[in-house]
Amino acid sequence: MTKTSSGNFFEDFRLGQTIRHATPRTVTTGDVALYNALFGARFAMQSSADFAMAAGYRDAPIDDLLVFHIVFGKTVPDISLNAVANLGYAGMQFLAPVHAGDTLTALSEVIGLKENSSRKTGVVYVRTRGFKNGDTAVLEYARWVMVRKRDEDAPAPGDHVPRLPTAVEPRLLGAACPPIDAAAYDFSLSGSPHRFGDYRPGEKIDHVTGMTVEEAEHQLATRLYQNTARIHFDNHSARQSRFGKRLIYGGHAISLARALSFDGLANAFHIAAINGGRHVAPLFAGDTVFAWSEILATSELPGRGDVGALRIRTIATKDRLCGDFPYRSGDDYDPAVILDLDYWALIPV
Amino acid sequence: MTKTSSGNFFEDFRLGQTIRHATPRTVTTGDVALYNALFGARFAMQSSADFAMAAGYRDAPIDDLLVFHIVFGKTVPDISLNAVANLGYAGMQFLAPVHAGDTLTALSEVIGLKENSSRKTGVVYVRTRGFKNGDTAVLEYARWVMVRKRDEDAPAPGDHVPRLPTAVEPRLLGAACPPIDAAAYDFSLSGSPHRFGDYRPGEKIDHVTGMTVEEAEHQLATRLYQNTARIHFDNHSARQSRFGKRLIYGGHAISLARALSFDGLANAFHIAAINGGRHVAPLFAGDTVFAWSEILATSELPGRGDVGALRIRTIATKDRLCGDFPYRSGDDYDPAVILDLDYWALIPV
Amino acid sequence: MTKTSSGNFFEDFRLGQTIRHATPRTVTTGDVALYNALFGARFAMQSSADFAMAAGYRDAPIDDLLVFHIVFGKTVPDISLNAVANLGYAGMQFLAPVHAGDTLTALSEVIGLKENSSRKTGVVYVRTRGFKNGDTAVLEYARWVMVRKRDEDAPAPGDHVPRLPTAVEPRLLGAACPPIDAAAYDFSLSGSPHRFGDYRPGEKIDHVTGMTVEEAEHQLATRLYQNTARIHFDNHSARQSRFGKRLIYGGHAISLARALSFDGLANAFHIAAINGGRHVAPLFAGDTVFAWSEILATSELPGRGDVGALRIRTIATKDRLCGDFPYRSGDDYDPAVILDLDYWALIPV
């Protein structure tokens, strides 16, 4: 009997099943430094403890996406080691700020199962929650992923497709953001004068700069998150994959696009929710990522006069400037697009 | 008179000589983050301060191999700057846990000297001790290395081959591991249910996943340890070496193999001793490292009911899967093998 | 009206103008670990909190050049986003030690403006100050840079070339260095017995070892400093530049040369001032950097008996050993030279 885990196959999941993931992980300023070195983020709130404490946090908050990557990484050995494809996210809410010294854990519940007609694979829907220091939820999201069956003849373990929100409602935003002292928020130090009222639905912003990814960089990132998907760092196996080479973890593109978006969205300091995300095309080492954003909606937050929410679509491309806002091309995406992300960010009013 | 150090040559050493090495080094959570990003370690004890403190440590312990690499790095300018080959290790014991904030120093004693018949080189045997915060020993090991002579005609500085242990006795294990509260050790969070009693001598475990090494990665590692062996990061000189390119520090393969071994040995949380290690073949950037382990022996620890010891042989290969446990091929090693490591790891009973 | 910053062009600057730069940045031990991994620095004072505190610091000081790179990085979006060339530095003084936990900000004053005869560009002179925790100056320097005009027909915004010092006077050195307890400074742990009195003007020191730079490494460095000059990390754009590839940030060569200079200058623990620096030739990934130094002058510090100052010229080359001290070749630099740096370092007397 082997002690090596081969991960779960489609027929191993059960509706309502709860999976407590290994490995607990204390987040440190060391992780923050590496995250900064990988993406060059410049949002003042995460960059400066002084700035964050003046604004209302008890310390600089850990970048929301770093929290997500670490929580996501924990789920890989149990949920997606035998995945064929990551299909989507929905209803991702950030629920409490995370600071250096907090220990993150993760728990997933199987909320849907749907065998594919080929009977070779099935779609697994999970709701994952990340916690700090035992029981304080910091993050919650639904995710669905196509998973191989070990045995094609095994009966389907269930047949239920959950109803998932297409967007997080504004009333659910802001739990991870303490009351912000607008008077103490320094718009000169933050790098831009633009606040909530300056953005309009339909507005498009080119984030201008590109960032090239090296193999060493995305490997460092993936391992930092303890993400065990070998396609990202095992080139011997990757050479035999359909890509013929290592595939960059999809979250890397999200973090690059977010970091680039500082140029135009400098005060949108907190990702409060991710409504949905689609990895339209794969990203490989040597590619240069560019990004642009459209303001889809703006919303005040019930009961809060300090911050408002911008619903933003950020599109990332590879090896293509975004001055003309490439997105759709007929029914399909522009061939340069790699990421279509829909999220809510908070910004001082 | 030059102020540049050219290191010690064989004839510069004296039996019984004691060398206090530069540079003292405070270990931080920054070092831990980089180590994690380089190797993707997932052992819960080192990953989570909460987990470690519940189990009995005063904080998450620094990875044993990171402590070793830093102590080893300090010895390079004095011991092996003029080395032709690293020949072996013996009797490596971890003596006290190291935590972020501790400052490491190192001291070596020359315990053996043996000129080679060519008179061009000689073997230097040293016993190196690593200390934290001045005088608490954290690590001790013997090492022997073939060192060039500056002047072939110089008389041999001594002729003594020390007796070195082939393995560390179980009664010497565990000094760096506080009493572990087994009830608080969470086998769900640690990633595996397998404990001491579940392993049997002769059992073989394939660690499945591979990890590809990039030049930037092993250069970052070597410099992080302040290891000054230029063959690892000076490509101008390396091109003229017998390899024609940069050679990856042998310890990098040890750390990769250890990190990969999580899959099958998740609860073997502490390397208590290294009985011996052999770098069978060189590792270069672009290679993918795989590993498998055999349980050589199991031993209870005298006077301790919390943890037992597994004696493990871990074999690492490059660009070759380990499902069939490649090791020897006739009198020689399988050509894919790069590392043959024999160590004791502690695991809850 | 775009929310994306296109940076300042020559005609946007005004004499006497003050620019408060984004983004405030809390320096951590995570940054220190990355800096060590990138350059392999071995100076005991920065490496060991114990060593530094015994000598007289309240904690290990952050490497002077890391402080400079972070402060410099902040100025890029406002000063040099439209730069054609970085022309020089002068009068750089380190004014207070920086420790992990300090938050850095930066402020620049325009002290000179000179349009070029082509009317396409102009030279902007700024005096930049870095601060910790709001208002304690840690660093000050003058810098001049050639900046493009947005509109060739725009009138020149001024015409004033400031008088800049060719060297920082010894009486201005040492503000960032607390009184050093020479009795507690351990010359065995620091790696060299050589102190102030052992160095003579005219003395040349080959730093022997080389260090090869990878794309991932200098990209990590540039982003760690939040330096937004895209030529360093946007290969899509860099391919269309005059270099046809990514250019390594000039400060990277300075940090490499300084780290290499440990071998020969191990006790010159603090850069008190940089008199001037010239990036003689560009550095690209794959190049190996070597360095040598000449002692230009030695000076006691008024009122201080603990440390003296060495004025040092450090020359860095690429892909060329420095045993014969390559520098000038006729009127020009030796073709291998990439950096000509003139600075003051403090060393125990």
Q: How far apart are CA C316 and CA A116, in angstroms?
A: 62
Phi then psi for residue B294, to 5 deg, are -120, 135
Report the pLDDT value the prediction gives residue A1, as an integer from 0 to 100.
Answer: 57
Report the pLDDT value the prediction gives residue C86, as an integer from 0 to 100.
Answer: 86
Chain C: closest CA distance from residue B213 (Å): 13
Q: How far apart are CA B176 and CA B174, in angstroms?
A: 5
Look at B189 and A105 and tell me if their CB atoms are within 8 Å: yes
Say if CB A321 and CB A279 are below 8 A apart: no
Return the closest-CA partner of residue B87 out of B130, B127, B123, B115: B123
Look at B209 and A220 and tell me if their CB atoms are within 8 Å: no
Report the pLDDT value the prediction gives residue B5, as an integer from 0 to 100.
Answer: 83
CA dihedral over B132, B134, B140, B145, signed as positive or negative: positive
Residue in A closest to B51 by C-alpha: A24
Phi then psi for residue A309, to 5 deg, are -115, 135
User: DSSP per residue over C268-319, as a string?
Assistant: --EEEEEEEEEE-S---TT-EEEEEEEEEEEEEETTEEEEEEEEEEEEEEES
- Which amino acid, A349? V
Angle, nearest 10°, between helix axes B215-224 and C29-39? 110
Chain C environment of A214 (Cβ under 8 Å): 214-216, 219
Per-chain mean pLDDT for chain B = 96
CA dihedral over B263, B265, B271, B275, signed as positive or negative: negative
Interface test with A, best of B47, B284, B310 (most A CBs within 10 A): B47
| pLDDT tens per residue across span C158-211 | 899 999 999 999 999 999 999 999 899 999 999 999 999 999 999 999 999 999
3-state secondary structure of B9: coil
For residues B331-345, give the mean pLDDT.
97
| pLDDT tens per residue across span C41-65 | 999 999 999 999 999 999 999 999 9
B54 touches chain A (CB under 8 A): no
Report the pLDDT value the prediction gives residue C330, as an integer from 0 to 100.
Answer: 85
- The complex scores an ipTM of 0.97
Report the pLDDT value the prediction gives residue A329, as an integer from 0 to 100.
Answer: 82
Cross-strand bridge partners of residue C278: C340
Q: At residue A171, does pLDDT exceed 90?
A: yes
Interface test with B, best of C29, C186, C258 (most B CBs within 10 A): C29
Report the pLDDT value the prediction gives residue B158, as an integer from 0 to 100.
Answer: 84
Phi then psi for residue A286, to 5 deg, are 100, -20
Q: Which residues of A30-60 are buried (b: 16+ CB within 10 A; e: fewer)?
A: bbbbbbbbbbbbbbbbbbbbbbbebbbbebb
Nearest CB to A263; choose among C4, C31, C105: C4
For residues A167-192, give the mean pLDDT.
96
| pLDDT tens per residue across span A261-272 | 999 999 999 999
| pLDDT tens per residue across span C294-325 | 999 999 999 999 999 999 999 999 999 999 99
Structure tokens, A119: 């009977």
Half-sphere exposure of C322 (CA within 13 A, CB side): 32
Q: Who's near A111: CB < 8 A, 6+ residues apart?
A: A15, A125, A126, A127, A142, A160, A162
Q: How far apart are CA B115 and CA B127, in angstroms?
A: 18
Token look-up 């850095």 returns C104
B152 touches chain C (CB under 8 A): no
- Max CA distance (Å), chain B: 64
Task: Identify the DSSP state of A48.
Answer: -
Share of chain C above pLDDT 70, in %: 100
3-state secondary structure of A139: strand
Q: At residue C248, does pLDDT exceed 60?
A: yes
Task: Name the neighbours of C, counting chains with at least 3 Cβ pairs within 8 A.
Answer: A, B
Task: Identify the DSSP state of A54.
Answer: H
C-alpha of C342 from chain center: 11
Structure tokens, A312: 């933003």
- Alpha helices by DSSP H, listed for chain B, are 29-39, 44-47, 49-55, 64-75, 215-224, 235-238, 250-260, 262-265
Chain C: closest CA distance from residue A46 (Å): 9
Nearest CB to C212; choose among B26, B105, B235: B235
Say if CB B169 and CB B91 are below 8 A apart: no
Residue B249 burial by CB count (10 A; 0-12/13-18/19+): exposed, middle or buried? buried
Residue in A closest to B199 by C-alpha: A3
Q: At residue A230, does pLDDT exceed 70?
A: yes
Q: How far apart are CA B336 and CA B321, in angstroms?
A: 9
Report the pLDDT value the prediction gives residue B6, as an integer from 0 to 100.
Answer: 85
Report the pLDDT value the prediction gives residue A300, as an integer from 0 to 100.
Answer: 97
Token look-up 């001594």 returns B158
Q: How far apart are CA A16 and CA A109, in angstroms?
A: 6
Residue A187 burial by CB count (10 A; 0-12/13-18/19+): exposed, middle or buried? middle
Chain B: closest CA distance from residue A235 (Å): 6
| pLDDT tens per residue across span B200-238 | 999 999 999 999 999 999 999 999 999 999 999 999 999
Phi then psi for residue C182, to 5 deg, are -60, -35
- Which amino acid, B214? E
3-state secondary structure of B68: helix
Chain A: closest CA distance from residue B204 (Å): 9
Per-chain mean pLDDT for chain C = 96
Token look-up 């597994």 returns B310
Residues 223-252 of B with CB under 8 A from C: 223-224, 226, 228, 230, 233-237, 246
Which helix (H) or strand (E) is C114 found in, with range? strand C103-115
Q: At residue C337, does pLDDT exceed 60?
A: yes
Q: Who's near A262: CB < 8 A, 6+ residues apart?
A: A41, A42, A43, A191, A207
For residues B66-77, give the mean pLDDT.
98
Return the closest-CA partner of residue C294 out of C327, C251, C269: C327
| pLDDT tens per residue across span B39-57 | 999 999 999 999 999 999 9
Phi then psi for residue B183, to 5 deg, are -65, -30
Cross-strand bridge partners of residue A113: A124, A160
Say if CB A40 and CB C226 are below 8 A apart: yes
Look at B188 and A22 and tell me if their CB atoms are within 8 Å: yes
**Secondary structure of A255-268 in HEC code, one letter for each residue:** HHHHHHCHHHHCCC
Q: How far apart are CA A319 and CA A336, in angstroms?
A: 7
Alpha-carbon distance values, A176 to A195, A302, C75, C198 (Å): 19, 15, 32, 59
Chain B environment of A76 (Cβ under 8 Å): none
- Alpha helices by DSSP H, listed for chain A, are 29-39, 44-47, 49-55, 64-75, 215-224, 235-238, 250-260, 262-265
Say if CB A127 and CB A134 are below 8 A apart: no
Enter the pTM of the model.
0.98
Q: At residue B254, does pLDDT exceed 60?
A: yes
Chain A environment of C230 (Cβ under 8 Å): 209-210
C101 touches chain A (CB under 8 A): yes
Per-chain mean pLDDT for chain A = 96
Look at B47 and A25 and tell me if their CB atoms are within 8 Å: yes
| pLDDT tens per residue across span B172-195 | 999 999 999 989 999 999 999 999
Q: Cα dihedral angle (B231, B233, B236, B238), rounded to 10 degrees?
A: 20
Report the pLDDT value the prediction gives residue A5, as an integer from 0 to 100.
Answer: 83
User: DSSP per residue over A200-215, as a string?
Assistant: -TT-EEE----EE--H
Return the closest-CA partner of residue C202 out of C291, C55, C325: C325
| pLDDT tens per residue across span C197-246 | 999 999 999 999 999 999 999 999 999 999 999 999 999 999 999 999 99
Q: How far apart are CA C345 and CA C349, in angstroms?
A: 12
| pLDDT tens per residue across span A132-165 | 988 999 999 999 999 999 999 999 998 999 999 9
Token look-up 């070998």 returns A230
Report the pLDDT value the prediction gives residue A322, as an integer from 0 to 100.
Answer: 97
- Which amino acid, B251? G
Share of chain C above pLDDT 90, in %: 95
In chain C, what is the straight-line distance between the N-terminal and C-terminal CA atoms, in Å? 60
